[in-house]
Amino acid sequence: MSNIRIILQARTLSYRLLAKSLLPISGIPLAVLCAKRLGNTGFPVTIVIPKIKIDDTLFHTLKKYKLNVIRGNHTDVISRYVKVAKKMKSNEIIIRATADNPLPDGYFVKEMDKLFENFKRNYMCTHEKFFNLPYGLAVQLFRAKDLLRVSKKKLSKKDKEHVVVALAKDRINTSYKGKLKTYKKFYVKDKLSIDTLDDYIKLEKMFRKCKNPIKTKWQKIIKK
């Protein structure tokens, strides 16, 4: 597990659903739940959030739950990732996750890391249709050295804000042929990411059925 670090980005200033990172799901703030689920098999998780006043409550909430937090530029999100990557070995893998997707867990990370290695990828995004995964089971995988190399290029505002746009453009092996059948049985058309109040209500109800929202595997939550 030492060759993987999960970097989870979160913020308070979400325009469609303000402060969604702090909304409770099964009594746990959303950003905290995302971090705890991603790390539930032992992978190290670092949460990167903006260093502006509106995010102070989020920062103190995350620290209250004894989570590893780094603060940085509000709009230049990729620079927050670079802070973490600089402390990693060049070939170590970064798993990028966002705090509006509570479904991905440590088991999901293990599965995607195995595919990343088997496919011999430089960059991988699980939102590609190839994976047959519901919308919301999203992580991106890449190596620290590639993030650091790309970050030194002349980046657009969009590149800096969305982190993986520059990586996706930079790599030549980002296309897939056919579709992976492994996860087809778990595919649902429902959006399982939180951007609006309706999204939040739906996901909160799903997690309310779990006895242990941190440990329950993503497949079981979808089945429920």
Is residue 2 pLDDT above 80, yes or no?
A: no
Is residue 1 pLDDT above 60, yes or no?
A: no
Query: What's the CA angle centered on 113, arms 125 and 162, to 5 degrees?
Result: 30
Is residue 196 pLDDT above 90, yes or no?
A: yes
Q: Which residue has the tokens 């209250």?
A: 64
Average model confidence (pLDDT) for the chain?
Answer: 93
The DSSP line for the chain is -TTEEEEEE--S--SSSTTGGGSEETTEEHHHHHHHHHTTTS--EEEEEE-SGGGHHHHHHHHHTT-EEEEE-SS-HHHHHHHHHTTS-TTPEEEEEETT-----HHHHHHHHHHHHHTT-SEEETTSGGG---TT---EEEEHHHHHHHHTS---HHHHHHSHHHHHHH-S-----S---TTGGG--SS--S-SSHHHHHHHHHHHHT-S-TTTS-HHHHHH-
pLDDT of amino acid 20: 96
54 confidence band (pLDDT: 50, 70, 90): very high
Kindly state the average pLDDT of the residues 3-12: 97
Whole-number Å distance between alpha carbons of 141 and 168: 11
pLDDT of amino acid 33: 98
pLDDT of amino acid 223: 84
Q: Which residue has the tokens 């049985």?
A: 185
- Domain ranges (residues) in the chain: 4-223
> What's the length of the chain?
224
User: What is this structure's pTM?
Assistant: 0.94
- Tell me which residue of 76, 68, 77, 82 sits closest to 35, measured CA to CA: 68
pLDDT of amino acid 176: 77
Q: Which two tokens stand for residue 83?
A: 């802070």
What superfamily would CATH give domain 4-223?
Spore Coat Polysaccharide Biosynthesis Protein SpsA; Chain A (3.90.550.10)
Quick: pLDDT tens for 85-140. Answer: 999 999 999 999 999 999 999 999 999 999 999 988 889 999 988 999 999 999 99
Is residue 174 pLDDT above 80, yes or no?
A: no
Is residue 173 pLDDT above 80, yes or no?
A: no
Give the rounded percent of residues in the chain with a pLDDT score beyond 90. 83
